[in-house]
Structure 1
Amino acid sequence: MAVLVDLVVTLGMLVVVPLGLRLAAVPETAAAVRLWPLFAIPGAVSLWLPRGALATALACCYAAGTLLPALAAPRRLAATRSLAPAEVALCTALVSPAVAATALVAERWGYRLFGFDLEILDLTVPHFHFAGFAAALVAGLAHRAAPGRRLGAFAALSVPLGTLLVLLGYFVDDWAELAGAVVLTAGMWAVALVTWRDVRAGTDDRLTGALLAVSAGVLVATMLLALSWAVGEATGLPHPSLAWMTATHGVANALGFALCSLLAWRRLQTPRPRTTAPDHEEVPA
């Protein structure tokens, strides 16, 4: 399971976060976008080293890089003075990599931060790269694409709220974590529906539409798995193991949802060259 988690996190560090920051197009994160490889590469290397001083130092380098978007969040709030749903989702996305990096530094040092097992800290890292960063960012983008839809506003607010409630559930109990999972699942399903109904239907590019369709379909299945796991943890009913959740929910969310969504949004934001019909010479009568 550890190797699979590290592969997913590496994807998040090297591809998902920088791609997402570019899509966010926030002036305050311009420096983070330019400098990101200087922080992300050491962070990715730290994943594959034994716990200790070197791995921790490299993880701290990544944590320093995540402060750039995290500090941009309060500056943006001060500049916009807006708590609109899309802004809430965007600020959640900007802060989430720093939360992931904090867990990473503790786990690489072997320190049980707040008393959590190292396995939980290890899983917190991908959770806040994908549920915290990618999902919140996509929820905000989807809401902006369909601003008149209440469902988009619900998605843009409930994904950040659900992510926060899941985090708080770590400190309370399994029932609190289940409440967070319910809110997060509802928000992610709302993202899937807005993506399918509004965003996908609004593009005539087949590849972009296919990427959006995959991301929406994957969310339905992966969040059902997440909900079943949270219910089982709270009630004691049979539920998938963490290893199984990593191989299914984790990998599918990383590749099928986050990567496909961000690639699709990049295509949506990239102007396509206009094709013009060739001029026809007039034939004299």
Structure 2
Amino acid sequence: MSVLVGLIVMLGMLVVVPLGLRLVDGPGPSRLSRWWPLLAAPGAVALWLPRGPAATALAAVYAAATLALALHAPARLARTRSLAPAEIAVLTALASPSVAGLALVAERSGHQLFGFDLEILALTVPHFHFAGFAAALVAGLVCRASADRPAARCAALSVPLGTLLVLVGYFVDDWAELAGAVVLTAGMWAVALVTWRDVRDERQDRTTRTLLAVSAAVLVATMLLALSWALGEATGLPHPDLTWMAATHGLGNALGFALCAVLAWRRLEETTA
């Protein structure tokens, strides 16, 4: 795992996920968020160890935490009995880190899970922290805050669907992955549009408005990069390589979108508490 990808994953594990869990209503995720940095620390250490038993064992601790989080999804569904768009997005956020946890265990053990090479497994880990968890969670928050407007409902449904289609594309072919990238991009751009148009408010303080604006604007560029990569993989057209994608698309989504968005929503929550 490259240094840059490792740093991006650490940001997701130790900062974005616990901050995001505090935004999920219900006692389970909120309680888990208090312990999350401690549970994630072994996984963070595993990123920097050579592949082998020690790294695998530490990664497995983190994977167990992600599975515990995923169990909150069916529990939440049983409690709310709702499949409204915002709820679908939140359920996706709760379940997605478990995919990252499983991929991390396989990659740290040197096992080509389902035949995927180790580089793809390494990139699956940040993808399901940021597209799977952060983007789905923010899409759900945007949907609730925007009174279920059509664009917000589109965001809350398209982000989970696009994330699922990208995962399915791993097993099918590059064209299926391209279809997933198109749907996911549409959902992310809908998140950006609704954030910029409806969530930002002149009554908010300057820092909150800036964080929301940055999180929305960054998505325009980063998701164009995602589309160009998926299109190139499917058609053979020139496109950025994975190293370049990690340094642009990956870093931009991690810092510019996910971190700014969860910080902004935390500030919004504090002002309305």
TM-score in terms of structure 2 length: 0.98
Q: Residues of 2 paired with 1:20 and 1:149: CA distance? A: 23
- Mean Cα deviation higher: 127-136 or 264-273: 264-273
Q: Which shifted more, 25-34 or 105-114?
A: 25-34
Question: SS state of the match for residue 201, structure 2?
Answer: helix
Cα 1:58–1:199 shift into 2, 3 Å:
same
Provide the C-alpha distance between the structure 1 equivalents of 2:31 and 2:63, rounded to a whole number of angstroms: 15
- What is residue 31 of structure 2 aligned with on the other side? 31
**How big is each residue's C-alpha offset from its partner over 1:46-69, in whole Å with a ceiling of 9 and x where there is no partner?**
000000000000000001111222
Deviation at 1:148, TM superposition (A): 3.7
Write the distance in 2 (CA, Å) between the matches of 1:38 and 1:132. Answer: 21
2:140 aligns to what?
A: 140
Amino acid at match of 2:257: F
Maintained 8 Å contact 2:52/2:110: yes
**Structure whose alpha-carbon radius of gyration is higher:** 1
> Paired residue for 2:71?
71
SS in 1 for 2:239: coil
Q: 2 CA distance for matches of 1:173 and 1:235?
A: 11
Q: Is contact 2:155–2:191 with CA below 8 Å preserved after alignment? A: yes
Secondary structure of the 1:257 match is: helix
Q: Is the 8 A contact 1:182 1:227 kept in 2?
A: yes
CA distance in 2, matches of 1:196, 1:11: 25
- Taking only the aligned residue pairs, the percentage that are identical comes to 74
Aligned to 2:164: 164
Q: Which residue of 2 is the match for residue 264 of structure 1? A: 264
Q: What is the CA distance between 1:199 and its match in structure 2?
A: 0.4
Q: Give CA-to-partner distance per residue, 1:225-245, whole Å, 9 cap, x none.
A: 000110000000000111100
Deviates more, 1:49-58 or 1:198-207: 198-207
CA contact (8 A) 1:147 1:153 kept: no
* Contact kept? 1:203, 1:209, Cα under 8 Å: no
* Code of the aligned partner of 2:154: F
Task: State the match for 1:198 in structure 2.
Answer: 198
Query: 19-28 or 237-246, which moves further after superposition?
Result: 19-28
Matches for 1:69-218 after TM superposition, within 5 Å: 69-201=69-201, 203-218=203-218
Contact kept, 8 Å, 1:5 with 1:123, in 2: the verdict is yes
Q: Are 1:249 and 2:249 counterparts?
A: yes
Unpaired runs of 5+ in structure 1? Answer: 274-285
DSSP 3-state at the match of 2:134: helix
Name the CA shift for 1:191/1:203 in 2 (closer, same or farther; >3 Å): farther
Preserved contact between residue 130 and residue 258 of structure 2 (Cα < 8 Å): yes
Identify unmatched segments of 5+ residues in structure 2: none
Q: 2:24, 2:30 within 8 Å by CA — same for their partners in 1?
A: no
How many residue pairs align between the two structures?
273
- Alpha carbons of structure 1 residues 196 and 74: separation in structure 2 relative to 1, 3 Å: same
4+ residue runs of structure 1 moved beyond 6 angstroms?
A: none
Residues 63 and 105, structure 2, Cα contact 8 Å, conserved in 1: yes
Distance between the aligned counterparts of 2:166 and 2:272, measured in 1?
40
Deviations 1:232-270 (A, max 9, x none): 000000001111000000000000000000000000000
TM-score w.r.t. length of structure 1: 0.94
- The one-letter amino acid of 2:95's match is V
Q: Could you tell me how far 1:27 is from its partner in structure 2?
A: 1.6
Deviation digits for residues 66-114 of structure 1, max 9, x if unmatched?
Answer: 1222000000101111100010000000001111000000000000000
Pick closer, same or farther for the CA change 1:5–1:31 going to 2, 3 Å.
same
What is the root-mean-square deviation of aligned Cα atoms in Å? 1.3
For 1:94, the aligned partner's letter is: L
Deviations along 1:204-234, whole A, 9 cap, x unmatched? Answer: 2111000000010000000000001100000
